[in-house]
């Protein structure tokens, strides 16, 4: 690994660190170290990183802003690639926008709304990156990424890059082809928006932000929604009905504001969260015979 670090540093591809604690890079503030942590400073440098990884046969994982993610206390084997400011470019052509995967989704929706473009209002309170949102088909308020994405530029682990259409992304509820069939990194996305009344768009975005602020515990470190909605039921309502709000294991606690959020109430470990997830699954099944599936992605060493 030392030789690879030296090679990457000599190429000046961005930040390169060994054994970087991932609790510094997740919204729930949990996670052990990555063997190697890389933050590429450009798309070209990202391609160089992937070439070196592939050449050396190293395991890798890409992350964005660390929401919707629970990293093992034992960390992650291999390389973690963080898509950040080096991939936050934005180009606007009429109602079509091309945006880098490292761009903040909240910042993008705010900027776009001020230009009188509609379609991203649902994203005004989603605290992730564009790349992560495309990867998992993020959504809220009755809409999601699949409704606006026309194509995504993907860097595959063999170093090739390809544009995938909306259909080729195979979007479904909180998933895409990148989770189901093909391993790759979202480099950029193209969204088709619509012209609209600027004041109405900004007003709707503010309502969405206020709703999240009033109903979700963003004053505590958390990963976002923990469980998928087991339709026709809603995860949060089931958890609340079971009397689990406020239930705690170690430093992990079910939010008293919203049942589908587990917060880091103080020095929580990934194991605390995993134990609490299992407790919720068992309780909901025993009471309602409903199987709960996690929406948060659980990664790292076992």
Catalytic residues: 174, 225, 295
What gap in Å lies between CA 78 and CA 89, rounded to an integer? 28
Cβ–Cβ under 8 Å, residues 252 and 265:
yes
Q: Is 80 helix (H, G, I), strand (E, B) or coil?
A: strand
- Phi, psi at residue 235, to the nearest 5°? -55, -50
What gap in Å lies between CA 46 and CA 79, rounded to an integer? 12
What gap in Å lies between CA 176 and CA 276, rounded to an integer? 27
Cα end-to-end span (Å), the chain: 21
Q: Give all strands of the β-sheet with 252-254 in edge-to-edge order.
A: 222-225, 261-264, 252-254, 248-249
Q: Which residues pair with 144 in a beta bridge?
A: 139
Q: Which residues pair with 294 in a beta bridge?
A: 227
Residue 289 CB coordination number (10 Å): 7
Cβ–Cβ under 8 Å, residues 205 and 109:
yes
What gap in Å lies between CA 242 and CA 237, rounded to an integer? 9
């Amino acid at each position: 690994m030392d030789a690879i670090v030296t090679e990457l540093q000599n190429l000046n591809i961005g930040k390169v660190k060994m054994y970087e604690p991932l609790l510094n890079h997740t919204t729930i503030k949990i996670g052990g170290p990555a063997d190697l942590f890389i933050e590429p400073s450009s798309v070209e440098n990202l391609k160089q990183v992937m070439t070196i990884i592939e050449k050396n046969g190293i395991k890798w994982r890409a992350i964005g802003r660390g929401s919707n993610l629970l990293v093992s206390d034992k960390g992650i084997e291999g390389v973690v690639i963080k898509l950040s400011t080096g991939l936050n470019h934005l180009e606007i052509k009429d109602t079509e926008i091309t945006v880098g995967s490292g761009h903040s989704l909240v910042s993008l929706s705010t900027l776009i709304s001020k230009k009188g473009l509609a379609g991203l209002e649902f994203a005004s309170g989603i605290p992730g990156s564009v790349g992560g949102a495309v990867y998992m088909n993020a959504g809220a308020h009755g809409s999601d990424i699949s409704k606006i994405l026309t194509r995504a530029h993907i860097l595959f682990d063999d170093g090739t890059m390809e544009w995938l259409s909306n259909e080729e992304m195979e979007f479904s509820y909180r998933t895409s082809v990148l989770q189901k069939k093909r391993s790759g990194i979202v480099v950029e996305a193209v969204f088709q928006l619509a012209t609209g009344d600027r004041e109405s768009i900004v007003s709707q975005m503010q309502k969405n932000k206020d709703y999240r602020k009033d109903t979700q515990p963003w004053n505590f470190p958390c990963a976002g929604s923990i469980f998928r909605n087991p339709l026709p039921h809603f995860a949060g309502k089931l958890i609340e009905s079971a009397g689990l709000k406020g239930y705690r294991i170690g430093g992990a606690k079910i939010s008293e504001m919203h049942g589908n959020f587990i917060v880091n109430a103080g020095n929580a470990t990934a194991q605390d969260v995993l134990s609490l997830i299992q407790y919720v699954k068992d309780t909901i099944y025993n009471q309602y015979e409903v199987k709960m599936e996690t929406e948060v992605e659980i990664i790292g060493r076992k």
